[in-house]
Structure 1
């Protein structure tokens, strides 16, 4: 099962690489960027409440679900104080701003750290039920695409070549199996912690979305397209949940 968990989380992490590839091929405009970041936000918020927290609630009651969610959000708050935010400055098309290179590298480090708890969500979901883990991995992979864009854009603007910008975005997503493996190893021995782990992952992802993705989308994207993206992201999770019957 640990091999399956690793492969699933690796698949989810590759979404960051896909986003980096899209960014270096063609820089997205404000509308596209706002929509993509909004879509990722809608996916993660809906996934967290509709699946992760509600599943924990159903398995172990509201006390475990509430405590796990709160601990996850607080954990992410502490991590957030110690790691960079997804923020980057605007430049004119074609401009090269050396300071953005440092910004892009800091963003890559921050997203790498954020991806570890996302791996926990995939691992905990799979240890609960294989189909549930696959569902979470698909949603997280889609969510990671805009994060890859946010990583690669400032690197390109800072003068890093397209290949290296893409590789940096790709590598930032490949740390996701670390969280999944940790969850798999622990939960295989302590299966009674699965509900708490699901709620914990939900708290982590809701905090990350509200603190990072939504503000970034509204600041650097188009506000109306961000809202549309959030709604469509939620609808996507509803449909995916229905298809997987989880």
Structure 2
């Protein structure tokens, strides 16, 4: 038996020979963009070669202000795209002598400015940094001796993080026996109360983040808050999808379990508490001990109900004590990390980004909890769930006034 060799048409061979490699099709547009930019530069394009007259875009952020005997230490960073030189320092309309670690700050480069000034404790001061291009960056502070940032200071930050995050949430989780004995209707009301808490936290974190970067276009300005929220929302959605896929592979129900809901709530609250820790650490770092103490008390009362939010989905389960402890640490321990970071550097853009992450995470959990509010008739918004949601928002608002005060 003879076999006939496979023949191909000349047109087919020609099409295969003329087909470009796949990697070349992907790299080709990038090479054309690089060629276009190179051509634009060779033509002395203004803004790229520096040949044209252009006003420098200065974006200097004051990260920290410390008061030491006879001097004020200001930590700044260049958040713009152009080099910046601090030419003068004005303290309450007085041009003071100063030294700095670098004469010209490159993009993203930090600088420490030491100002010789005999300040008076308790007096308010306006510190203005004037750049060589005529720009002006100001900050209003009240003089107070800054604490020494040694091992004892950072140990205090850890202790404050425990007071603010871990202990209040742990106390709130003690409501679990009460939740387990509640009827189905009351459990739905408590879940609605949890949704109200999360809705308030989402809005609150978003507004705080936007306020931190108000009037600043560095690193995208307010966009960093929205970027952090979107990233956190999508990441949690992806993690949840992966967990549900594993449940289906094991033959379990293809919906989040109560344990998963509790974990999602703990993660969202933990990311939010990271921003609270930043606020406390920043207050203590600049010597505002009274403000820091009021924040500790306010956040402690504010966060107790967050423990209730974590255990409410577990109303019909019997979780182990170790699992509850882990959930409490996930939700509360980030306050410790935030306090340590806030005490080290007060970076508004970083804080705004983290607040956005917390808002996105908490908002994602609130959305996922809504189906659990359905009644026997399939309605989500019933009298008890509406009262619960409003109650959660109002409770967080009222306790939040303690933080502002």
So what's the TM-score if we normalise by structure 1?
0.71
Q: Does 1:74 align with 2:231?
A: yes
Contact 1:16 1:169 in 2 (8 A): no
Cα distance change, pair 41–16 in 1 and its aligned pair in 2 (3 A): same
Structure scoring higher RCO (CA < 8 A, sep ≥ 6) equals: 1
Q: Does 1:142 align with 2:305?
A: yes
Cα distance change, pair 6–73 in 1 and its aligned pair in 2 (3 A): farther
Deviation at 1:9, TM superposition (A): 0.8
Between stretches 200-209 and 62-71, larger displacement belongs to 62-71
Q: Residue in 2 aligned with 1:236? A: 395
Give the match's secondary structure for 1:191. Answer: coil
Cα distance change, pair 146–240 in 1 and its aligned pair in 2 (3 A): closer
Between stretches 5-14 and 135-144, larger displacement belongs to 135-144
Q: Residue in 1 aligned with 2:339? A: 184
Contact 1:68 1:203 in 2 (8 A): no
CA distance in structure 1 between the partners assigned to 2:195 and 2:352 by the alignment = 23
1:151 aligned residue (309, 314, 318): 314
Contact 1:13 1:173 in 2 (8 A): yes
Structure number with higher strand proportion: 2
1:123 aligned residue (273, 277, 281): 277
Contact 1:39 1:143 in 2 (8 A): no
Give the match's secondary structure for 2:363. Answer: helix
CA distance in structure 1 between the partners assigned to 2:196 and 2:356 by the alignment = 18
Q: Does 1:54 align with 2:213?
A: no
Q: Residue in 1 aligned with 2:190? A: 36
Deviation at 1:23, TM superposition (A): 3.3
Deviation at 1:10, TM superposition (A): 0.6
2:328 aligned residue (164, 173, 176): 173
Q: Residue in 1 aligned with 2:173? A: 17
Give the match's secondary structure for 2:374. Answer: helix
Q: Does 1:5 align with 2:164?
A: no
Deviation at 1:201, TM superposition (A): 1.8
Deviation at 1:178, TM superposition (A): 3.2
Unaligned 5+ segments in structure 1 are 86-97, 157-163
Deviation at 1:59, TM superposition (A): 2.6
Q: Residue in 2 aligned with 1:209? A: 366
Deviation at 1:142, TM superposition (A): 0.6
CA distance in structure 2 between the partners assigned to 1:52 and 1:133 by the alignment = 17
Unaligned 5+ segments in structure 2 are 1-156, 245-251, 284-291
> Deviations 1:134-164 (Å, cap 9, x if unpaired)?
43443333133032131252x33xxxxxxx5
Contact 1:72 1:199 in 2 (8 A): yes
Contact 1:16 1:170 in 2 (8 A): no
So what's the TM-score if we normalise by structure 2?
0.46
Contact 2:225 2:353 in 1 (8 A): yes
Contact 2:168 2:304 in 1 (8 A): yes
> Deviations 1:21-62 (Å, cap 9, x if unpaired)?
3234x1x2232112212122222222332x322222223217
Cα distance change, pair 137–202 in 1 and its aligned pair in 2 (3 A): farther
Q: Residue in 2 aligned with 1:224? A: 383
